[in-house]
């Protein structure tokens, strides 16, 4: 097995991965709450999960990795307030929570496939693991970490001395930072719910030692991690937003129960921004993969766009940036494919190709530096030869970009009048007449065509 270095949020250091039971690497990734479409920010986090899993496999490890599907109990605020997200969506759409979960899960898995994100060995629905969660909460209560109130069972964070170690805030900070408790029965405002008691009209509820109810969000991951990966495992991933609450609470629950460290490495993906800011429905900038496809972009160009920024850096999404990624991706793929019929290299060139290939792999093993790896690939293409194609084909296990696969030739006849509009629009754009250019883009959009611009050219695609 090759050596892999990863940045561990817990130690704030890059560390060598030392699996508990090599060659297997055990890993848990927080999955989606399936009450809505996954947006491109969510999907960036799963591209990161995939980069990591592909690197582990390429290095010779066997991955045993779990992703949960949250289909109950994630409240509208991560701090345990508000309504269950699944229930809220069900009410709004006049469907059952099961229908909502089935619908959005199917689309989520389709999105993963379109982005060449390999499925974790185990994907598990929260609703299939309720008894494990109840058992977990019961044990925490027996050990004195959990306590019951009229509305829920809470975790007493003051009992877990290391609370806050992941985000490096101490218990005093957590207590001071928490809002005044709505529930006076809570021992501390920052205590979080392990189990919620259900009101009569709550749709999803299960029998428990505390009456009818449903699990808190954080307990899902602790209970499912324990069930599938055991009392210690190697890696836990998620987005950086989960560090201060969700993962802090997971650590508290799991380590309190086991009496020792459970996860060795916490690896977090940075956020995606849109036009430099937060994605939000009110700004109309929450895009899905289908939105990108409708505008003429390919899912793999989006994957390339994500891979070109290191997972620990913020990634600012703009359509200009995605345009650039689409153009670069198409060129890279065409260049790799062209090497299929290129002559074989002489010994000297072959050595250079292999040296670049090794640098590419090393970059990935060094905390998943895919941007550097892609750079090495571009330089490999400066000496086009059959070996480049062969290496790119083997490297697809690491990259997942299908660069060695000829894109399907689109035999589409673009009508002359459409072409003429596109030409006029391009001329307007070159003259920086943005109003005309935008109006003609809208016209083309109406006619079912998308335009991709690069600095010196454009491409017209049927949507």
CA 445 centroid distance within chain: 30
Q: Name the residue nearer to ligand AMP (CB basis): 33 or 222.
A: 33
Please tell me whether residue 300 binds Zn ion under the rule CB under 5 A: no
Q: Which residues contact 12 (CB under 8 A, 6 or more apart)?
A: none
Q: Please, are residues 64 and 26 in contact by the beta-carbon 8 Å criterion?
A: yes
Give me the least distance between CB of 42 and ligand AMP, in Å please. 4
Residue 221: contacted member of Zn ion, ligand AMP, none (CB under 5 to 8 Å, by partner type):
Zn ion
Residue 87: contacted member of Zn ion, ligand AMP, none (CB under 5 to 8 Å, by partner type):
none
Give me the least distance between CB of 348 and Zn ion, in Å please. 51
Residue 75: contacted member of Zn ion, ligand AMP, none (CB under 5 to 8 Å, by partner type):
none
Only segment of 110-118, 162-170, 216-224, 443-451 that touches Zn ion (CB under 5 A): 216-224
Give me the least distance between CB of 98 and ligand AMP, in Å please. 18
Q: Name the residue nearer to ligand AMP (CB basis): 269 or 384.
A: 269
Q: What is the dihedral of CA 373, 377, 379, 382, to 10 degrees?
A: 180
Q: Name the residue nearer to ligand AMP (CB basis): 103 or 426.
A: 103
Q: Please, are residues 10 and 236 in contact by the beta-carbon 8 Å criterion?
A: no
Pattern 177-196, Zn ion, x by CB under 5 A: --------------------
Q: Please, are residues 9 and 312 in contact by the beta-carbon 8 Å criterion?
A: no
Give me the least distance between CB of 124 and Zn ion, in Å please. 12
Contact positions vs ligand AMP (CB under 6 A)? 30, 32-33, 41-42, 44-45, 238-239, 241-242, 271-272, 279
Give me the least distance between CB of 76 and ligand AMP, in Å please. 11
Q: Name the residue nearer to ligand AMP (CB basis): 32 or 164.
A: 32
Q: Please, are residues 198 and 213 in contact by the beta-carbon 8 Å criterion?
A: yes
Residue 239: contacted member of ligand AMP, Zn ion, none (CB under 5 to 8 Å, by partner type):
ligand AMP
Distances in Å between the Cα of 131 and the Cα atoms of 48, 214, 454 are 31, 11, 55
Distance CA 100, CA 96 (A): 6
Please tell me whether residue 219 binds Zn ion under the rule CB under 5 A: no
Q: Which residues contact 303 (CB under 8 A, 6 or more apart)?
A: 47, 115, 116, 400, 401
Pattern 12-51, Zn ion, x by CB under 5 A: ------------------x---------------------
Q: Name the residue nearer to Zn ion (CB basis): 221 or 322.
A: 221
Q: Please, are residues 71 and 387 in contact by the beta-carbon 8 Å criterion?
A: no
User: Nearest CA to 191 among 179, 206, 205, 199?
Assistant: 179
Structure tokens at 344: 């074989």
Please tell me whether residue 267 binds Zn ion under the rule CB under 5 A: no
Distance CA 305, CA 118 (A): 18
Q: Name the residue nearer to ligand AMP (CB basis): 40 or 421.
A: 40
User: Nearest CA to 225 among 268, 267, 255?
Assistant: 255
Helix residue spans in 345-385 (DSSP H): 347-365, 370-380
Among 25, 221, 292, 380, binds Zn ion (CB under 5 A): 221
Residue 456, burial from CB neighbour count under 10 angstroms (0-12, 13-18, 19+)? exposed
Give me the least distance between CB of 120 and ligand AMP, in Å please. 13
Residue 41: contacted member of ligand AMP, Zn ion, none (CB under 5 to 8 Å, by partner type):
ligand AMP
Residues of this chain that interact with Zn ion (CB under 5 A) are 30, 221
């Amino acid at each position: 097995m090759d050596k892999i270095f990863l940045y561990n949020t817990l130690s704030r250091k890059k560390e060598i991965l030392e699996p508990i039971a090599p060659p297997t690497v055990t890993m848990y990734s927080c999955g989606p709450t399936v009450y809505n479409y996954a947006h491109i920010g969510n999907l960036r986090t799963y591209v990161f999960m995939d980069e990591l899993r592909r690197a582990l496999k390429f290095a010779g490890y066997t991955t045993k990795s779990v992703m949960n599907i949250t289909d109950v109990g994630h409240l509208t605020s991560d701090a345990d307030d508000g309504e269950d997200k699944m229930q809220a969506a069900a009410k709004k759409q006049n469907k059952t929570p099961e229908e909502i979960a089935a619908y959005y899960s199917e689309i989520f898995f389709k999105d993963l496939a379109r982005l060449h994100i390999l499925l974790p060995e185990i994907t598990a629905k929260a609703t299939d693991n309720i008894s494990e969660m109840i058992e977990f909460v019961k044990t925490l209560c027996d050990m004195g970490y959990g306590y019951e109130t009229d509305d829920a069972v809470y975790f007493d964070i003051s009992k877990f001395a290391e609370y806050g170690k992941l985000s490096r805030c101490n218990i005093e900070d957590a207590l001071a930072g928490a809002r005044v408790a709505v529930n006076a029965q809570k021992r501390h405002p920052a205590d979080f719910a392990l189990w919620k008691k259900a009101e009569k009209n709550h749709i999803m509820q299960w029998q428990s030692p505390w009456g009818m109810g449903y699990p808190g969000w954080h307990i899902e991951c602790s209970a499912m991690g324990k069930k599938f990966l055991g009392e210690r495992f190697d890696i836990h991933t998620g987005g950086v937003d989960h560090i201060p609450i969700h993962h802090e609470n997971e650590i508290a629950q799991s380590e309190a129960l086991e009496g020792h460290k459970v996860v060795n490495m916490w690896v977090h993906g940075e956020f995606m921004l849109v036009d430099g800011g937060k994605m939000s429905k009110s700004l109309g900038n929450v895009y899905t993969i289908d939105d990108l496809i409708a505008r003429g972009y390919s899912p793999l160009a989006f994957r390339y766009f994500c891979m070109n920024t290191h997972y620990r850096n913020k990634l600012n999404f703009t359509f200009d940036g995605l345009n650039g990624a689409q153009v670069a991706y198409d060129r890279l793929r065409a260049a790799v494919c062209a090497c299929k019929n290129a002559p074989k290299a002489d010994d000297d060139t072959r050595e250079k190709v292999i040296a670049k290939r090794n640098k590419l792999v090393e970059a990935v093993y060094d905390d998943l530096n895919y941007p550097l790896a892609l750079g090495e690939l571009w330089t490999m293409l400066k000496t086009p030869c059959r070996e480049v194609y062969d290496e790119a084909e083997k490297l697809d296990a690491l990259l997942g970009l299908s660069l060695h696969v000829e894109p399907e030739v689109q035999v589409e006849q673009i009508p002359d009048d459409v072409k003429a509009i596109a030409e006029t629009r391009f001329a307007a754009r070159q003259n920086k007449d943005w109003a005309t250019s935008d109006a003609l883009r809208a016209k083309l959009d109406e006619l079912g065509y998308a335009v991709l611009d690069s600095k010196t050219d454009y491409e017209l695609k049927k949507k």
